Structure 1
Amino acid sequence: MSRLVYVLNGPNLNLLGKRQPQIYGHTTLADVEARCRTLAGELGLELRFHQSNREYEIIDWVHEARETAGAIVINPAAFTHTSVAILDALNAFDAPVIEVHISNVHKREAFRHHSYVTLRADAVMAGFGTHGYELALRHAAHLIDAKQAAT
């Protein structure tokens, strides 16, 4: 099984550290990527880290991951609550999917309480701040290792 993990980030996460720091903190997406790359190296994972404000690009990366990846870590951001298309793409991916949210979406506006992605996710990290990405990568490595041990 592949040890490649795609880390996919949805709309407005390019503004992480600048947009609503009282909710999302001051850590930038570049900081998150650097920490993820360091941890991936420690865990023996290869990483593809992407961000887009365009739904179709996220779908294209999920399709690409079908051929090469052992897991997907995804923070779909606002697409969480709206994108059946991303859900459909994830449903065509046969390896673990871990959903990440920086804030605790269940303590926020009611529309944020529903996630289409959760219908496919094997695990959900919410409210851990940007540290949730690292927790998700550790869990992805655990799931990949468990699947390899079972075969």
Structure 2
Amino acid sequence: MKTIFVLNGPNLNMLGKREPGIYGTGTLDDIAADCRSAAEGLSLAVDFRQSNHEGVLVDWIQEASQKAAGIVLNAGAYTHTSIAIHDAIRAAAPLPVVEVHLSNIHAREPFRHVSKVAPHAVGMICGFGPLGYTLALQALAARI
């Protein structure tokens, strides 16, 4: 069974408490359960992780390049700022990465419109809430 790393960045551990009008009332544990259920139906395994620390996310991307068939990445605010995450994804090529955001980043503040992840991701899913993670797993299953 192929493994997909589902990596989550800063503040996603606060889902359910943080700005529920934007991010919903579900928790990151709820999303993890949804991902595991969806992955099972796609004959995939999921390694689901979250960190508030940029370097840890870089380490996990590098680890995924050796152990995973793909990455679903919600880098949170690092999406818009992190050259380190951009470079890690680039170095992990040809490992497919799908960028996910719960909210529609293009309908929010202008600084959120630019993604440092997107240039090296195979695609981006944003604005569909937790469903975006399931859609990303489906996209990776079709690709790999």
Q: Which TM bucket (shorter chain)?
A: over 0.9
What residue is the counterpart of 2:52 in the other structure? 53
Name the structure 2 match of 1:107.
Answer: 107
Structure 1 moving runs of 4+ over 2 Å: none
* Aligned pairs (5 A) from 1:8-27: 8-27=7-26
Q: 1:1-151 alignment to 2 at 5 Å? A: 3-93=2-92, 94-144=94-144
Higher CA-based Rg: 1
Shift of 1:68: 1.2
Count of residue pairs the alignment pairs up:
143
- SS of residue paired to 1:92: helix
> 1:95 Cα deviation (Å)?
1.5
- Match of 1:95, SS state, is coil
Amino acid of the residue matched to residue 13 of structure 1?
L
Gaps of at least 5 residues in structure 2 are none
State the identity %: 52
2:26 is paired with a residue of what secondary structure?
A: coil
Structure 1: gaps of 5 or more residues: 145-151
TM-score (norm 1): 0.93
* CA–CA distance in structure 2, aligned partners of residues 48 and 87 of structure 1: 21
The aligned amino acid for 1:76 is A
Q: TM-score, normalised by structure 2?
A: 0.97
Cα distance in 2 for partners of 1:80, 1:56 equals 14
CA deviation digits over 1:32-89, x for unaligned, max 9? 0001001111111011100000000000000101111110000000000100000100
